[in-house]
A = this chain, B = another copy of it.
Amino acid sequence: MEKKKRVTSYDVAHQAGVSQSAVSRVFRPGLSVSKKTREKVLATAKKMGYKPNAIARMLITQSSGMIAVIVSSRANLNYPDVLSLLNKRIAEANKRVLLFTLDDAEGLEDILDHLWTYQVDGVIALAAHFDHNSISQFEQHHIPVVLYNRQVADHSVSSVSCNHEMGLKQLVDLLIKHNHKDYLIISGPQDSDVANERRFFAEQALAENGFKDTPVVYGDYTYESGRLALSKYLKNHKRPTAIICGNDNMAIGVVDEAKQNFGLSVPKDLSVVGFDGINAATWFSYQITTIRQPANQMTKAAVDILLDQIENKHNVAETRFWSGELIEGMSVAEANPE
């Protein structure tokens, strides 16, 4: 196993009898090289197995060709395939994904530090909690950011979002139409912006229909937390007829808990709605009524917006909204109080 030295542009240049600049130009698109030298260089490059060194290129061009994607572990629950969709889109634009997961462990500050040193071209943040301070750091470093399902009020940051307000209005309207009068909201965690937004809009939509001060309990977006939230609540409270869950996972947990430990059947005794439209929500045993987020459009838009900002270096924030699609499952029925 001999150590094969890496082939550089100089090696190719020397072998092909041209200058290093010529080789470089051949591998840069849209630069003026004569057909003759181009072919000569390509031929020898191929023969020698030359591939331009991306790192050297990054250094001189001041651009890494990498997009940082920041996900919280939570995000994976709600949008299991968003990451792979994003990656696909980014790969199509001939850039790469540098992945960061934001857990309790590794703080946001650590991640941001890395972003600067890696000179990423842009950032897509999935449901991570970004405060104003972090946002202005991005501005200082001139790194464009697109937030996914997250907005920052008084800052101009691009974002793609599902219209939670409209989604929850649709869900609530549906429940109202079925004459529900006793509601419970099982929200996602309080430190999640998306969760707070959904909870807020659920409350708002209910209030519009005259239902104020709907009780709220908090889960952490997991199946288990949905079960736990329900069981805890039912211990001390009269059972509601409709439960609005912060995501599908918890809705599924609620359905199972109701069935298993309280002998309640969904939707006869209890109507349950979720949010996200994950695959499992459509499974026969659950068929949760929910709002499906258009992940295809959203990821595409996120990447499009980001690339646009990278290429045109303009600072205009763009915000795109999608109204999620109401999926009517089998988890909502006429109100049936005790």
Interface on A for B, CB 8 Å cutoff? 1, 3-4, 51-56, 58-59, 64, 66, 69, 71, 73, 76, 80-81, 83-84, 87-88, 91, 96-101, 103, 105-106, 113-114, 116-119, 139-142, 223, 252, 255-257, 259-260, 279-280, 283-286, 315
Enumerate 18 A-B pairs (CB-CB under 8 Å) in ascending A order.
A51-B113, A53-B117, A53-B119, A54-B118, A55-B55, A55-B59, A66-B98, A73-B84, A76-B80, A84-B101, A87-B99, A87-B100, A88-B105, A96-B99, A99-B99, A252-B283, A256-B285, A257-B284
A117 partner residues in chain B, CB cutoff 8 A: 51-54
Q: Which of B51, B81, B101, B119 contacts A88 (CB 8 A)?
A: B101
Q: Which of B59, B101, B103 contacts A59 (CB 8 A)?
A: B59
Docked complex Cα distance between A139 and B3 (Å): 10
Q: Which of B53, B64, B98 contacts A97 (CB 8 A)?
A: B98
A98 partner residues in chain B, CB cutoff 8 A: 66, 96-99
Give A53 Cβ to nearest chain B Cβ, in Å.
Answer: 6
Give A171 Cβ to nearest chain B Cβ, in Å.
Answer: 22
A4 partner residues in chain B, CB cutoff 8 A: 140-141
A51 partner residues in chain B, CB cutoff 8 A: 113, 116-117
Q: Across the interface, name the chain B residue whose C-beta is closest to A63.
A: B55
Interchain CB contact under 8 A, B99 and A118: no
Docked complex Cα distance between A260 and B284 (Å): 8
Q: Across the interface, name the chain B residue whose C-beta is closest to A80.
A: B80
Docked complex Cα distance between A56 and B140 (Å): 21
Give A49 Cβ to nearest chain B Cβ, in Å.
Answer: 9
Interchain CB contact under 8 A, B96 and A55: no
Q: Across the interface, name the chain B residue whose C-beta is closest to A68.
A: B96
Docked complex Cα distance between A144 and B115 (Å): 25
A106 partner residues in chain B, CB cutoff 8 A: 88, 91
Docked complex Cα distance between A99 and B96 (Å): 7
Q: Across the interface, name the chain B residue whose C-beta is closest to A255.
A: B285
Give A83 Cβ to nearest chain B Cβ, in Å.
Answer: 7
Interchain CB contact under 8 A, A101 and B87: yes
Q: A119-B53, A256-B285, A260-B284 are in contact. Are A84 and B96 (CB under 8 A)?
A: no
Docked complex Cα distance between A116 and B69 (Å): 22
Q: Across the interface, name the chain B residue whose C-beta is closest to A75.
A: B84
Docked complex Cα distance between A64 and B64 (Å): 12
Give A18 Cβ to nearest chain B Cβ, in Å.
Answer: 21
A139 partner residues in chain B, CB cutoff 8 A: 1
Give A320 Cβ to nearest chain B Cβ, in Å.
Answer: 24
A99 partner residues in chain B, CB cutoff 8 A: 69, 83, 87, 96-99
Docked complex Cα distance between A223 and B97 (Å): 28
